[in-house]
Amino acid sequence: MDLAVLWFVAIAVLWAGYFLLEGFDFGVGMLLRVLGRDDAERTALIHTIGGVWDGNEVWLIVAAGATFAAFPLWYATMFSGLYVPLLIILLALIVRGVAFEFRGRSDDPRWRAGWEAALIVGSAIPAALWGVIWGAVLRGLPIGPGHVFTGGLGDLVSWYALIGGLTTLVLFALHGALFLTLRTAGASARRARTVAMWLGPVAVVLAAVFLFRTQVHRGSTATLVTGVVAVVALLGAWLLSRARTAAWAFTLTGTGIVAGTSTLFLALYPAVLPSSLDPAYDLTVQAASSSPYTLTIMTWVAAIFLPVVLGYQAWTYWVFARRIGGPGLGATDHAAPG
Protein backbone atom coordinates (compact mmCIF):
# COMPACT_ATOMS: atom_id res chain seq x y z
CA MET A 1 0.00 0.00 0.00
CA ASP A 2 1.12 3.55 -0.74
CA LEU A 3 2.40 5.04 2.53
CA ALA A 4 0.33 8.21 2.13
CA VAL A 5 -2.83 6.09 1.86
CA LEU A 6 -1.67 3.95 4.79
CA TRP A 7 -1.33 7.02 7.00
CA PHE A 8 -4.68 8.37 5.86
CA VAL A 9 -6.18 5.08 7.05
CA ALA A 10 -4.17 5.28 10.28
CA ILE A 11 -5.51 8.77 11.01
CA ALA A 12 -9.04 7.55 10.33
CA VAL A 13 -8.45 4.75 12.86
CA LEU A 14 -7.17 7.27 15.42
CA TRP A 15 -10.26 9.45 15.01
CA ALA A 16 -12.52 6.39 15.28
CA GLY A 17 -10.70 5.36 18.47
CA TYR A 18 -11.00 8.87 19.87
CA PHE A 19 -14.73 9.11 19.23
CA LEU A 20 -15.29 5.57 20.53
CA LEU A 21 -13.47 6.16 23.83
CA GLU A 22 -13.86 9.87 24.44
CA GLY A 23 -17.47 9.63 23.29
CA PHE A 24 -18.66 7.77 26.37
CA ASP A 25 -16.81 9.98 28.83
CA PHE A 26 -18.23 13.06 27.06
CA GLY A 27 -21.59 11.38 27.61
CA VAL A 28 -20.90 10.79 31.30
CA GLY A 29 -19.94 14.44 31.71
CA MET A 30 -23.03 15.72 29.92
CA LEU A 31 -25.36 13.49 31.96
CA LEU A 32 -23.74 14.24 35.32
CA ARG A 33 -26.64 16.26 36.72
CA VAL A 34 -29.30 14.26 34.91
CA LEU A 35 -28.28 10.93 36.42
CA GLY A 36 -26.63 12.01 39.66
CA ARG A 37 -29.30 13.21 42.09
CA ASP A 38 -26.97 13.99 44.99
CA ASP A 39 -23.29 14.65 45.63
CA ALA A 40 -22.46 11.00 46.36
CA GLU A 41 -24.07 9.79 43.14
CA ARG A 42 -22.34 12.45 41.04
CA THR A 43 -19.03 11.53 42.64
CA ALA A 44 -19.69 7.91 41.71
CA LEU A 45 -20.41 8.87 38.10
CA ILE A 46 -17.16 10.81 37.88
CA HIS A 47 -15.30 7.85 39.36
CA THR A 48 -16.46 5.65 36.46
CA ILE A 49 -14.21 7.61 34.07
CA GLY A 50 -11.73 9.01 36.57
CA GLY A 51 -8.98 6.58 35.60
CA VAL A 52 -9.40 6.72 31.82
CA TRP A 53 -10.68 10.10 30.60
CA ASP A 54 -7.24 11.66 30.18
CA GLY A 55 -5.94 8.55 28.42
CA ASN A 56 -8.84 8.77 25.99
CA GLU A 57 -7.78 12.28 25.03
CA VAL A 58 -4.38 10.95 23.97
CA TRP A 59 -6.07 9.58 20.84
CA LEU A 60 -6.87 13.14 19.78
CA ILE A 61 -3.32 14.31 20.47
CA VAL A 62 -1.87 11.45 18.44
CA ALA A 63 -4.35 12.05 15.60
CA ALA A 64 -3.34 15.72 15.44
CA GLY A 65 0.36 14.87 15.68
CA ALA A 66 0.10 12.21 12.97
CA THR A 67 -1.72 14.66 10.70
CA PHE A 68 0.98 17.29 11.26
CA ALA A 69 3.79 14.84 10.49
CA ALA A 70 2.22 12.82 7.67
CA PHE A 71 0.10 15.53 6.00
CA PRO A 72 1.52 18.98 6.90
CA LEU A 73 -0.47 20.77 4.19
CA TRP A 74 -3.71 19.17 5.43
CA TYR A 75 -2.86 20.23 8.98
CA ALA A 76 -2.00 23.80 8.01
CA THR A 77 -5.04 24.39 5.80
CA MET A 78 -7.49 22.72 8.19
CA PHE A 79 -6.26 24.61 11.24
CA SER A 80 -6.25 27.95 9.44
CA GLY A 81 -9.82 27.44 8.22
CA LEU A 82 -11.18 25.89 11.42
CA TYR A 83 -9.17 27.92 13.91
CA VAL A 84 -12.11 29.36 15.87
CA PRO A 85 -14.09 26.13 16.49
CA LEU A 86 -10.89 24.21 17.22
CA LEU A 87 -9.83 26.89 19.71
CA ILE A 88 -13.24 26.67 21.40
CA ILE A 89 -12.86 22.89 21.66
CA LEU A 90 -9.39 23.28 23.15
CA LEU A 91 -10.63 25.75 25.76
CA ALA A 92 -13.58 23.46 26.60
CA LEU A 93 -11.25 20.48 27.06
CA ILE A 94 -9.00 22.55 29.34
CA VAL A 95 -11.98 23.64 31.46
CA ARG A 96 -13.18 20.03 31.56
CA GLY A 97 -9.81 18.74 32.73
CA VAL A 98 -9.57 21.41 35.43
CA ALA A 99 -13.11 20.58 36.59
CA PHE A 100 -12.14 16.93 37.14
CA GLU A 101 -9.25 18.01 39.34
CA PHE A 102 -10.81 20.92 41.23
CA ARG A 103 -14.31 19.63 42.02
CA GLY A 104 -13.08 17.52 44.90
CA ARG A 105 -10.91 20.24 46.47
CA SER A 106 -13.76 21.52 48.63
CA ASP A 107 -16.94 20.19 50.21
CA ASP A 108 -18.74 23.50 49.64
CA PRO A 109 -21.90 22.68 47.62
CA ARG A 110 -21.57 25.88 45.57
CA TRP A 111 -17.94 25.09 44.73
CA ARG A 112 -18.86 21.60 43.59
CA ALA A 113 -21.91 22.77 41.66
CA GLY A 114 -19.79 25.32 39.78
CA TRP A 115 -17.19 22.78 38.71
CA GLU A 116 -19.90 20.27 37.82
CA ALA A 117 -21.41 22.89 35.50
CA ALA A 118 -17.97 23.42 33.99
CA LEU A 119 -17.63 19.67 33.46
CA ILE A 120 -21.04 19.47 31.77
CA VAL A 121 -20.32 22.41 29.44
CA GLY A 122 -16.75 21.23 28.81
CA SER A 123 -18.13 17.86 27.69
CA ALA A 124 -21.08 19.13 25.62
CA ILE A 125 -19.21 21.74 23.57
CA PRO A 126 -16.62 19.37 22.05
CA ALA A 127 -19.26 16.66 21.60
CA ALA A 128 -21.30 19.02 19.42
CA LEU A 129 -18.50 20.92 17.69
CA TRP A 130 -16.72 17.82 16.41
CA GLY A 131 -19.83 16.95 14.43
CA VAL A 132 -20.11 20.53 13.14
CA ILE A 133 -16.45 20.54 12.08
CA TRP A 134 -16.60 17.24 10.21
CA GLY A 135 -19.87 18.28 8.61
CA ALA A 136 -18.22 21.48 7.38
CA VAL A 137 -15.21 19.54 6.05
CA LEU A 138 -17.39 17.05 4.18
CA ARG A 139 -19.55 19.82 2.73
CA GLY A 140 -16.39 21.51 1.48
CA LEU A 141 -14.38 24.51 2.64
CA PRO A 142 -13.70 27.62 0.52
CA ILE A 143 -10.18 26.58 -0.48
CA GLY A 144 -8.72 28.47 -3.41
CA PRO A 145 -5.50 28.32 -5.45
CA GLY A 146 -2.47 27.25 -3.48
CA HIS A 147 -4.75 25.41 -1.03
CA VAL A 148 -5.41 28.66 0.85
CA PHE A 149 -8.57 29.00 2.94
CA THR A 150 -10.40 32.07 1.61
CA GLY A 151 -13.60 32.06 3.67
CA GLY A 152 -14.79 33.11 7.08
CA LEU A 153 -16.54 31.68 10.11
CA GLY A 154 -19.92 31.80 8.37
CA ASP A 155 -18.69 29.38 5.71
CA LEU A 156 -18.42 26.66 8.34
CA VAL A 157 -22.10 26.80 9.33
CA SER A 158 -24.78 24.99 7.33
CA TRP A 159 -27.78 22.87 8.18
CA TYR A 160 -25.72 19.80 7.26
CA ALA A 161 -22.95 20.76 9.70
CA LEU A 162 -25.50 21.55 12.41
CA ILE A 163 -27.15 18.15 11.93
CA GLY A 164 -23.67 16.67 12.29
CA GLY A 165 -23.24 18.52 15.58
CA LEU A 166 -26.59 17.34 16.92
CA THR A 167 -25.76 13.78 15.83
CA THR A 168 -22.47 13.60 17.73
CA LEU A 169 -23.98 15.37 20.75
CA VAL A 170 -26.86 12.89 21.11
CA LEU A 171 -24.80 9.88 20.06
CA PHE A 172 -22.11 10.51 22.67
CA ALA A 173 -24.77 11.07 25.33
CA LEU A 174 -26.33 7.71 24.40
CA HIS A 175 -22.91 6.04 24.45
CA GLY A 176 -22.25 7.51 27.90
CA ALA A 177 -25.63 6.43 29.26
CA LEU A 178 -25.05 2.85 28.15
CA PHE A 179 -21.54 2.94 29.60
CA LEU A 180 -23.02 3.95 32.95
CA THR A 181 -25.49 1.05 32.90
CA LEU A 182 -22.40 -1.16 32.88
CA ARG A 183 -20.30 0.76 35.39
CA THR A 184 -22.85 1.77 38.02
CA ALA A 185 -25.36 -0.06 40.18
CA GLY A 186 -28.71 0.64 41.75
CA ALA A 187 -30.70 3.79 40.99
CA SER A 188 -27.96 5.38 38.86
CA ALA A 189 -27.88 2.37 36.53
CA ARG A 190 -31.68 2.33 36.24
CA ARG A 191 -31.79 6.03 35.40
CA ALA A 192 -28.98 5.59 32.85
CA ARG A 193 -30.95 2.81 31.14
CA THR A 194 -34.07 5.01 31.01
CA VAL A 195 -32.11 7.90 29.47
CA ALA A 196 -30.60 5.53 26.91
CA MET A 197 -34.05 4.34 25.88
CA TRP A 198 -35.13 7.95 25.29
CA LEU A 199 -31.95 8.98 23.46
CA GLY A 200 -31.79 5.87 21.26
CA PRO A 201 -34.45 6.74 18.66
CA VAL A 202 -33.22 10.36 18.47
CA ALA A 203 -29.67 9.17 17.78
CA VAL A 204 -30.90 6.73 15.11
CA VAL A 205 -32.89 9.41 13.27
CA LEU A 206 -30.15 12.04 13.42
CA ALA A 207 -27.46 9.58 12.30
CA ALA A 208 -29.66 8.35 9.45
CA VAL A 209 -30.31 11.91 8.22
CA PHE A 210 -26.66 12.95 8.48
CA LEU A 211 -25.28 9.83 6.82
CA PHE A 212 -27.96 9.88 4.11
CA ARG A 213 -27.00 13.44 3.22
CA THR A 214 -23.34 12.39 3.23
CA GLN A 215 -24.18 9.55 0.87
CA VAL A 216 -26.03 11.89 -1.51
CA HIS A 217 -23.24 14.47 -1.47
CA ARG A 218 -20.06 12.36 -1.53
CA GLY A 219 -21.19 8.75 -1.36
CA SER A 220 -19.91 5.49 -2.85
CA THR A 221 -20.68 1.83 -2.43
CA ALA A 222 -18.28 1.67 0.51
CA THR A 223 -19.92 4.61 2.33
CA LEU A 224 -23.34 3.10 1.70
CA VAL A 225 -22.24 -0.12 3.42
CA THR A 226 -20.61 1.57 6.42
CA GLY A 227 -23.47 4.06 6.74
CA VAL A 228 -26.07 1.30 6.84
CA VAL A 229 -23.96 -0.61 9.39
CA ALA A 230 -23.80 2.50 11.57
CA VAL A 231 -27.56 3.14 11.53
CA VAL A 232 -28.46 -0.54 12.02
CA ALA A 233 -25.99 -0.81 14.91
CA LEU A 234 -27.53 2.20 16.65
CA LEU A 235 -31.01 0.83 16.11
CA GLY A 236 -29.88 -2.47 17.60
CA ALA A 237 -28.32 -0.66 20.56
CA TRP A 238 -31.63 1.06 21.30
CA LEU A 239 -33.60 -2.19 21.06
CA LEU A 240 -31.13 -4.01 23.30
CA SER A 241 -31.18 -1.18 25.86
CA ARG A 242 -34.94 -1.66 26.07
CA ALA A 243 -34.32 -5.38 26.59
CA ARG A 244 -31.81 -4.57 29.36
CA THR A 245 -28.91 -6.15 27.53
CA ALA A 246 -26.50 -3.36 28.40
CA ALA A 247 -23.19 -4.92 27.36
CA TRP A 248 -24.35 -5.66 23.82
CA ALA A 249 -26.11 -2.30 23.55
CA PHE A 250 -22.89 -0.50 24.50
CA THR A 251 -20.95 -2.63 22.01
CA LEU A 252 -23.38 -1.67 19.26
CA THR A 253 -23.16 2.07 19.97
CA GLY A 254 -19.39 1.67 19.71
CA THR A 255 -19.86 -0.17 16.42
CA GLY A 256 -22.10 2.63 15.18
CA ILE A 257 -19.51 5.28 16.11
CA VAL A 258 -16.68 3.42 14.37
CA ALA A 259 -18.79 2.70 11.28
CA GLY A 260 -19.98 6.31 11.15
CA THR A 261 -16.42 7.65 11.40
CA SER A 262 -15.35 5.23 8.68
CA THR A 263 -18.13 6.62 6.50
CA LEU A 264 -16.81 10.15 6.91
CA PHE A 265 -13.26 9.26 5.91
CA LEU A 266 -14.37 7.05 3.02
CA ALA A 267 -16.52 9.95 1.79
CA LEU A 268 -13.50 12.26 1.91
CA TYR A 269 -11.05 10.00 0.05
CA PRO A 270 -9.06 10.70 -2.13
CA ALA A 271 -9.39 14.24 -0.79
CA VAL A 272 -8.54 15.26 2.75
CA LEU A 273 -10.11 18.70 2.38
CA PRO A 274 -12.65 19.17 -0.43
CA SER A 275 -12.99 22.68 -1.87
CA SER A 276 -16.44 24.22 -2.09
CA LEU A 277 -15.16 26.64 -4.77
CA ASP A 278 -13.87 24.22 -7.38
CA PRO A 279 -13.02 20.49 -7.26
CA ALA A 280 -9.72 21.40 -8.93
CA TYR A 281 -8.70 23.02 -5.62
CA ASP A 282 -9.41 19.89 -3.55
CA LEU A 283 -6.52 19.01 -1.25
CA THR A 284 -5.84 15.32 -1.89
CA VAL A 285 -4.04 12.64 0.07
CA GLN A 286 -1.10 12.61 -2.32
CA ALA A 287 -0.78 16.40 -2.59
CA ALA A 288 -0.91 16.90 1.19
CA SER A 289 1.46 14.13 2.27
CA SER A 290 5.02 14.35 3.53
CA SER A 291 7.97 12.86 1.70
CA PRO A 292 8.25 9.05 1.38
CA TYR A 293 11.28 9.15 3.69
CA THR A 294 9.31 10.88 6.46
CA LEU A 295 6.39 8.48 6.07
CA THR A 296 8.75 5.49 6.21
CA ILE A 297 10.33 6.67 9.48
CA MET A 298 6.86 7.32 10.94
CA THR A 299 5.71 3.84 9.95
CA TRP A 300 8.62 2.14 11.72
CA VAL A 301 8.12 4.24 14.87
CA ALA A 302 4.41 3.45 14.91
CA ALA A 303 5.02 -0.27 14.38
CA ILE A 304 7.34 -0.37 17.42
CA PHE A 305 5.47 1.80 19.90
CA LEU A 306 1.80 1.44 18.99
CA PRO A 307 1.41 -2.11 20.45
CA VAL A 308 2.96 -0.86 23.72
CA VAL A 309 0.55 2.07 23.97
CA LEU A 310 -2.49 -0.05 23.12
CA GLY A 311 -1.45 -2.70 25.63
CA TYR A 312 -1.03 -0.11 28.37
CA GLN A 313 -4.44 1.44 27.70
CA ALA A 314 -6.10 -1.98 27.65
CA TRP A 315 -4.49 -2.75 31.01
CA THR A 316 -5.78 0.58 32.37
CA TYR A 317 -9.35 -0.30 31.40
CA TRP A 318 -8.96 -3.69 33.02
CA VAL A 319 -7.74 -2.15 36.28
CA PHE A 320 -10.68 0.26 36.42
CA ALA A 321 -13.30 -2.23 35.22
CA ARG A 322 -15.17 -2.71 38.50
CA ARG A 323 -18.72 -1.47 38.77
CA ILE A 324 -19.14 1.67 40.88
CA GLY A 325 -21.98 1.73 43.37
CA GLY A 326 -24.19 4.67 44.26
CA PRO A 327 -23.87 6.22 47.73
CA GLY A 328 -20.60 5.21 49.34
CA LEU A 329 -19.05 4.23 46.00
CA GLY A 330 -19.59 0.55 46.68
CA ALA A 331 -18.29 -1.77 43.99
CA THR A 332 -20.06 -4.93 42.90
CA ASP A 333 -19.46 -7.57 40.28
CA HIS A 334 -18.51 -7.11 36.62
CA ALA A 335 -21.72 -8.47 35.15
CA ALA A 336 -24.04 -6.29 33.11
CA PRO A 337 -27.20 -5.16 34.86
CA GLY A 338 -30.35 -7.01 34.04
pLDDT at 233: 97
Beta bridge partners, 184, equal 324
Q: Phi and psi of 271, rounded to 5°?
A: -85, 155
* pLDDT band at residue 33 under the 50/70/90 scheme: very high
Phi, psi of 291 (to 5 degrees): -70, 155
Report how far residue 44's alpha carbon sits from residue 53's, in angstroms, rounded to the nearest whole number: 14
Which residue type does 186 have?
Answer: G
Q: What is the pTM of this model?
A: 0.90
The answer to whether 120 touches 29, Cβ cutoff 8 Å, is yes
What SS3 class is residue 323?
strand
Q: Stretch 123-145: mean pLDDT, rounded? A: 95
- Non-local CB neighbours of 179 within 8 Å, separated by 6+ positions: 24, 25, 27, 28, 48, 250
Average per-residue pLDDT in the chain? Answer: 90
C-beta of residue 42 within 8 angstroms of C-beta of residue 116: yes
The span from the CA of 282 to the CA of 264, in Å, is 16
* CA–CA dist 99, 49 (Å, integer): 13
Does residue 235 surpass a pLDDT of 70? yes
Q: Which H or E run contains 287?
A: helix 285-288
Higher pLDDT: 317 or 49? It is 49
